[in-house]
Amino acid sequence: MSRKYFGTDGIRGEIGKAPMTPDFALRLGWAAGKVLTKHGLPLVVIGKDTRISGYMLETALQAGLVAAGVSVRLLGPMPTPAVSYLTRAFRASAGIVISASHNPYQDNGVKFFSAEGTKLADEVEEEIERYLERDIETVSSEKLGKVIRIEDAAGRYIEFCKRAIPNNISLESLRIVLDCANGATYQVSPLVLEELGADVITIADQPNGININENCGATSLDLLIQNVKQYRADIGIALDGDGDRLMMIDHTGEIVDGDEAIAIIAQHKHQEGTLGNDVVGTLMSNLGLEQAIKNMGLNFHRADVGDRYVMDLLRKHNGILGGESSGHVIVRDRIPTGDGTIAALQILNAIISSGKSLHELKQVMRKYPQTLTNVRIQKKIDLNENASIQEAVQKAEQQLGSRGRVLLRASGTEPVIRVMVEGDTPVETQQLAEDIAVVVEAVSKGHRRHTD
């Protein structure tokens, strides 16, 4: 079945435009309630980030769920991974997050967790879509669901996070600047770090409904870099609007991205003997991460882009660590979804345990220069079948040899082909990416560019 509403991470869009409207949210709540509670307790927990539109969608969703006979527990502003944890803690049949993650405030979205705290299977999302085509049928009054607000949700998640590092590890020697992106972590993540002993300077922790991700957070690091230098901090931690993404800054002001975070955590857990043999990245993961993992004597696997696909490969290989360059890091022996706070704690544990700085630890991985070029296309292109594009890719691969790699992939959300090239130098990767992009653009316009 071709899904009409669900993308790779739930349903997302601009508020006021289909499907992000109150009437759709009402129908979605009812449809989800009918499907998710067929074989489980008719109970769903709902969390949200700090967008002003979250109140509207929350009210509509809970009305639809109640009409389907489902009781609701409202968690309030809460990171996406916290909803995953609390879904399991409350033995709920599902969890719902109202968030558009790193998008600007004008957007919002709805994503679901199963009773196990994992992303919904494709077939469950497809069944919800089938129910969306039906008229709402309200259960009889005595079977209507009830709504209760959970007052201690934040405290439950804070204690869960603190258990992610050993009891004998204190962060009292660390000064940390924490950027909460004016998002869902603004209440909980500062307290986690403070209660573990760190000297915490918190920024972007004053959400007003429209400043989420605005020049702050994991997708905009200039503010964090500035504050790390100003306060002479040991580390900067940036989370995104819904708290499932992590980027870090070392004491020199250098960025530590998701690939480097995975390499650091992998090295520490491997030395502890708690990692296993397999680590999962994606097609976009830097070649340096793959080499670092293999240098540890471990297996590295590449999933399609998207944390649900990373999780699928982790299950397949019984691995506990995986993620994406963008900062989605899954530490599966702690929580079955990406969690920026949990991932940060793993790295802080490695810093304290090793006595090394973040700058020193990230040297475990040599990061290859990577150029990513987006080519807007006018028509759909079969990348594997087009001779001109394949010829351009092969030419670049021959030049790079074992020193790099080339990847072309179509965006799942917009008419764009992403051209990624890794190599020894930024100049080389930039030139090769541009050469391939020119060919892709020519093919999109319906003609072949002649080259020497």
Return the pLDDT at 421.
96
Q: In sequence order, which residues have a C-beta less than 8 Å from that of residue 229 and are 6 or more positions away?
A: 253
Tokens for 271?
């030395």
For residue 99, CA distances in Å to 46, 166, 217, 410 come to 11, 31, 15, 24
* Cα separation of the two ends of the chain: 45
Return the pLDDT at 449.
44
Return the pLDDT at 450.
40
Please say whether the beta carbons of 239 and 186 come within 8 A.
no
| Complete edge-to-edge strand list for the sheet that includes strand 321-323 | 299-303, 278-282, 321-323, 329-331
Read off the amino acid at residue 283. L
Please say whether the beta carbons of 303 and 281 come within 8 A.
yes
Read off the amino acid at residue 37. T
For 253: left if phi > 0, alpha if psi spans -120 to 50, otherwise beta; the answer is left
Beta strands 416-422 and 370-376 are: antiparallel
Tell me which residues of the chain have a pLDDT lower than 70.
1-2, 39-40, 412-413, 447-452
Closest CA to 48 of 119, 99, 87: 99
Question: In sequence order, what E strands does 324-410 have?
Answer: 329-331, 370-376, 405-410
The catalytic residue positions are 101
Return the pLDDT at 351.
98
Cis ω before 79 (30° cut-off from 0): no
Spell out the domains of the chain, with CATH numbers in brackets.
11-151 (3.40.120.10), 157-255 (3.40.120.10), 258-340 (3.40.120.10), 370-444 (3.30.310.50)
Angle (CA) 214-219-222 rounded to 5° is 75
Read off the amino acid at residue 383. L
Return the pLDDT at 41.
77
Given the structure tokens 């995986």, which residue do they identify?
322
Please say whether the beta carbons of 309 and 282 come within 8 A.
yes
This prediction has a pTM of 0.92
Read off the amino acid at residue 363. Q
